[in-house]
Amino acid sequence: MPVKFDYLVRETTSNLGRNVTITLASIMTVAVSLALVGASLMLRSGVENATKRWQGGIEFVVFLRTDATQQQIDSLQNDLDQSPEVAKAVFVDQQQAYSEFKTLFADSPELIDSVTAKDLPPSFRIEPENKDVDAVESLGLTFEGRSGVDQVVFASKTIRLIQQLSSRLTVGIFVIAAFLLGAAGLLILNTIRMAMFARRREIEVMKLVGATNWFIRVPFMLEGLVQGLIGAFVAIGALAAFKPFFQKWLPSAQDIPLVGGFQVSGSEMTVIFITLGIVGIAIGAIGAGIAVSRFLDV
Amino acid sequence: MRVAGVAPILGPARLASWGFSPAERPLIMITLENVTKTYKNSTVALRDANVEIAKGEFVFLVGASGSGKSTFIRLLNKEETPEQGHIYVAGKDIGRLSGWKVPYLRRNIGCIFQDFKLLPTKTVFENVAFALEVIGRPRSVIDSQVPAILDLVGLGHKSDSFPTELSGGEQQRVSVARAFVNRPLILLADEPTGNLDPATSVGIMKLLDRINKTGTTVVMATHDRGIVDTMRRRVIEIDRGSIVRDQARGVYE
């Protein structure tokens, strides 16, 4: 119905225009809270990428020689499976190592081009039963010097510290963001309540002449949705704009090798941005939905 | 009497849209069956009311302030629901009408009030058009129906004025136009002349009489003795919630 469509556009825009300051306040609150959520999600995936091989209790990695024979691999696999001190041993072949390498260095295609799967060592990632530092080290060293083994690398304290810090930071930021999102929802709820109050005569007449409940509700619902969505766009824009600056502040990869892996790939950014968009829309819809059902007696 | 631009009120298509087969054509438009309405502060607004109003009737509701006239009107378009009893409008038990269907009931009932309830930011044309717009009528229908109804109420020349630029009588004419533009089966009027001087009131009553003659059932709550005594239509008197008199061609007292 053409009438209905221009009606919706007209009503929604005029409502948004009527309470400019409060609308701006709710949009900004949504934007700030979503920017925080997005930043912490980016931080988390950066840390995850940089410390990929140390996820899930992995304490040391046995790197094999690139020319290790299948027989050597099988025998090592067998020993690891038998050992009571090993909780879990995951074999990473050259192909898997290469695909990890590609995500890690997604921003440096020339590096990816210069490396093939054959240049990367296969490895065993090992989660020991006993996580005590000395026990881990003595277990790891028993594999050093076996035929086919190149070297054994242990998770450093720095890595553990970074992982811990990032997970605590993420939790902290999420708590703050949750409060801000709550505030944003309440602000949206109030904006819409005011919009309904400003239009109470029209709503009364609409009910009187038999406008359907959804016809009355939808412009207000849309108003909340638009506020949430604009907030999300502002947050996404801010994150996209600030990402390069943030990467400039990081110490160079030459000084700290770990930083080289601190990357957020384009596809991860897309997922984060879509998440922010959905959360923004949800906050707007929830705030508006509550306002409409509580204050619009239709 | 023939009214320009007014379609037959109860055509088969209209009845079908309202859920009737043509065979079920209702002759009784409004029925109240043992209806009792009590408000939260335990005021009894209506006590065991039994009323039947036929299609095309013109009924005055009279009684002191707070006797229950407004409640009677509000029950008919389901702004209020009764504690006990059944209310049938055009043969349908509106107590059984689910919430989302109430708007469709109201499209068949026009309402006018003492305070007009016009939107001050809209012109006369827009106020009337609004009633069609919000029930999804296409622009072409609006553009043909609204001028016709404004001519009917005698305000064709004021369609671009705002309500504040009109006299009280003219404002009430706009509100009648808005109530009638969708050709309702029933017109409910709650003290429509309460804010108007006697001469202007006569004009509004002539308009309501014309609308009634097209077959629309009119129920009007009023305090206006002069109007009731002049018109000599059916009078229902309510006293503290009870119907104490129901008289054809009645007078105020």
Which of B77, B115, B126, B134 to mutate to probe the A interface, most A CBs <10 Å?
B134
Is the Cβ pair B106, A208 closer than 8 Å? yes
Which helix (H) or strand (E) is A178 found in, with range? helix A157-198
Give the span between the Cα atoms of A63 and A230, in whole angstroms.
49
- Residue range B62-77: mean pLDDT, rounded: 91
Chain A positions in Cβ-Cβ contact with residue B99 (cut-off 8 Å): 213
Is the Cβ pair B178, A211 closer than 8 Å? no
pLDDT (0 to 100) of residue A155 = 75
Give the span between the Cα atoms of A63 and A42, in whole angstroms.
29
Is the Cβ pair A205, B182 closer than 8 Å? no
With CA atoms as reference, the chain B residue closest to A297 would be B79
Q: In this complex, is the C-beta atom of A167 within 8 Å of any C-beta atom belonging to chain B?
A: no
Share of chain A above pLDDT 90, in %: 14
Tell me the pLDDT tens digit for each residue of B1-38: 333 333 334 445 545 554 555 555 547 899 999 999 99
CA nearest B97: which of A219, A297, A210? A210
Give the span between the Cα atoms of B149 and B143, in whole angstroms.
11
Please name the amino acid found at residue A232: A
Is the Cβ pair A201, B119 closer than 8 Å? yes
Looking at the partner chain, which of B99, B106, B138 has a beta carbon nearest the beta carbon of A209?
A: B106
> Largest Cα–Cα distance of chain A, in whole Å?
88
Residue A81 CA, chain-centre distance (Å), reads: 35
Show contacts of B48-53: CB within 8 Å, 24+ apart.
B48/B84, B48/B85, B48/B242, B49/B85, B49/B242, B49/B243, B50/B243, B51/B236, B51/B243, B51/B246, B52/B28, B53/B28, B53/B29, B53/B217, B53/B219
Q: In this complex, is the C-beta atom of B174 within 8 Å of any C-beta atom belonging to chain A?
A: no
Exposure on the CB side of residue B176, measured as CA atoms within 13 A: 31
Is the Cβ pair B99, A213 closer than 8 Å? yes
Q: Which residue has the tokens 């429509």?
A: B192
pLDDT > 80? residue B124: yes
pLDDT (0 to 100) of residue A200 = 87
Tell me the pLDDT tens digit for each residue of A99-123: 877 777 776 777 778 888 888 888 8
pLDDT (0 to 100) of residue A261 = 62
Is the Cβ pair B134, A208 closer than 8 Å? no
ipTM field = 0.82
Is the Cβ pair B139, A2 closer than 8 Å? yes
Q: In this complex, is the C-beta atom of B103 within 8 Å of any C-beta atom belonging to chain A?
A: yes
Q: In this complex, is the C-beta atom of A207 within 8 Å of any C-beta atom belonging to chain B?
A: yes
> Are residues B221 and B61 in contact, defined by beta-carbon separation less than 8 angstroms?
yes
Q: In this complex, is the C-beta atom of B115 within 8 Å of any C-beta atom belonging to chain A?
A: no
Cα first-last separation, chain B: 31
Two tokens, residue A33? 């809270």
> Are residues A36 and A236 in contact, defined by beta-carbon separation less than 8 angstroms?
no
pLDDT (0 to 100) of residue B85 = 93
Average pLDDT, chain A: 81
Q: In this complex, is the C-beta atom of A297 within 8 Å of any C-beta atom belonging to chain B?
A: no
Is the Cβ pair A210, B103 closer than 8 Å? yes
CA distances A51 to A57, A161, B247, Å, are 12, 11, 92
Q: What does DSSP say about strands A123-128 and B44-54: parallel, antiparallel, or unpaired?
A: unpaired
Chains A & B: contacts with CB separation below 8 Å: 62
Q: In this complex, is the C-beta atom of A206 within 8 Å of any C-beta atom belonging to chain B?
A: yes
pLDDT > 60? residue B90: yes
Two tokens, residue A179? 């409060």
Share of chain B above pLDDT 70, in %: 90
- Residue range A147-164: mean pLDDT, rounded: 76
Two tokens, residue B9? 């009120």
